[in-house]
Amino acid sequence: MHVHFARTSLARLLALLLAFVMIAAACGGSDDSDDNAADTPSDSDTGSDESSDDDAGDGDSVVPTITAPEEEEVAEEEIQRGGVLRVAMEADGDGINPVANNFANSAYLMGQSIFDPLFTLDQDGNWFPYLAESASPVEGTSSWQITLRQGVTYHDGSEMTADDMIAAFEAQLADPIISLAVAPSFPAENRVERIDDYTVQYNLLRPSAHFPTNLTSQLGMVPSASYIAAAAEDPTMDQMPIGQGPFKIVSRTQDDKTVVERNEDYWQGTDNIYLDGIEFLPITDAAIAAERVAAGDIDLVVTSSADAILTLRDAEGVSTIENVYSSENDIMMNTRAAPFDDIRVRQALTYATDRERLSSLINQGTSPLADSMFHPDLIWNNPDVVQEGNMPELAGPLVESYCADVPDNCTDGKIDMELQYSGPSVTQTRIADILTAGWEPFFNVTEQELLQDSHILEVAIGQFQVVTWRQFGAVEPDNEVVWLECATAEGFITLNWVRWCSPERDELLYAQRATDDLDARVEMWREIQAEMNESYAYIFTTHANWTIGFGDQVNNLCGQTGPGGETLFCNNQGRMFFHNVWLGEG
User: Which residues ranging from 159 to 198 are in contact with another protein (CB under 8 A)?
Assistant: 174, 176, 179-180, 183, 188
- DSSP codes, 310-325: HHHHHSTTEEEEEE-S
3-state secondary structure 156-203: CCCECCHHHHHHHHHHHHHCCCHHHHHHHHCCCCCCEEEEECCEEEEE
Min CB(313)–another protein separation in Å: 12
Distance linking the first and last C-alpha atoms of the chain: 50
- Would you say 257 or 414 has its CB closer to another protein? 257
- Rounded Cα distance, 204 and 386, in Å: 37
424 contacts another protein (rule: CB under 8 A): yes
Residue (of 509, 503, 502) closest to 536 by Cα position: 502
- Rounded Cα distance, 289 and 227, in Å: 34
User: Which of 196, 285, 408, 507: binder of another protein (CB under 8 A)?
Assistant: 285
With contact defined as beta carbons under 8 Å apart, do 86 and 297 qualify?
yes
451 contacts another protein (rule: CB under 8 A): yes
69 contacts another protein (rule: CB under 8 A): no
- Rounded Cα distance, 26 and 473, in Å: 12
Min CB(277)–another protein separation in Å: 13
Residue (of 259, 253, 294) closest to 279 by Cα position: 259
457 contacts another protein (rule: CB under 8 A): yes
Min CB(174)–another protein separation in Å: 8
With contact defined as beta carbons under 8 Å apart, do 335 and 498 qualify?
yes
Binding mask 310-349 for another protein (x = CB under 8 A): xx--------------------------------------
Cα 471–Cα 477–Cα 479 angle in degrees, nearest 5: 70
259 contacts another protein (rule: CB under 8 A): no
408 contacts another protein (rule: CB under 8 A): no
Site for another protein in 26-65 (CB under 8 A): none
490 contacts another protein (rule: CB under 8 A): no
4 contacts another protein (rule: CB under 8 A): yes
138 contacts another protein (rule: CB under 8 A): no
- Rounded Cα distance, 118 and 99, in Å: 14
Q: Give the range of 39-47, 395-403, 448-456, 567-575 binding another protein by CB under 8 A.
A: 448-456
Amino acid at residue number 548? I
User: Which of 116, 164, 238, 476: binder of another protein (CB under 8 A)?
Assistant: 238
User: Which of 187, 265, 446, 519: binder of another protein (CB under 8 A)?
Assistant: 446
User: Which of 76, 255, 271, 316: binder of another protein (CB under 8 A)?
Assistant: 255
297 contacts another protein (rule: CB under 8 A): yes
* Beta-bridge mates of residue 451: 423
405 contacts another protein (rule: CB under 8 A): no
Min CB(161)–another protein separation in Å: 27
Min CB(457)–another protein separation in Å: 6
With contact defined as beta carbons under 8 Å apart, do 374 and 529 qualify?
yes
Q: Give the range of 60-68, 458-466, 469-477, 479-487 binding another protein by CB under 8 A.
A: 458-466
3-state secondary structure 104-128: CHHHHHHHHHHCCECEEEECCCCEE
Site for another protein in 357-376 (CB under 8 A): 357, 361
- Would you say 358 or 581 has its CB closer to another protein? 358
77 contacts another protein (rule: CB under 8 A): no
3-state secondary structure of 418: strand
Distance of CA 453 to the CA centre of its chain: 18
3-state secondary structure of 135: strand
Site for another protein in 495-514 (CB under 8 A): none
- Would you say 226 or 454 has its CB closer to another protein? 454
User: Which of 56, 288, 369, 406: binder of another protein (CB under 8 A)?
Assistant: 288
Q: Quick count: other Cβ atoms within 10 Å of Cβ 259?
A: 16
Size of the site for another protein (CB under 8 A): 72
Site for another protein in 213-232 (CB under 8 A): none
What angle in degrees, to the nearest 10, is found between the helix axes of 225-233 and 162-174? 30
- Would you say 95 or 125 has its CB closer to another protein? 95
User: Which of 232, 487, 493, 514: binder of another protein (CB under 8 A)?
Assistant: 493
Q: Give the range of 61-69, 302-310, 326-334, 526-534 binding another protein by CB under 8 A.
A: 302-310
Distance of CA 405 to the CA centre of its chain: 42
Residues 6 or more apart from 94 whose CB is under 8 A from it? 16, 101, 102, 107, 238
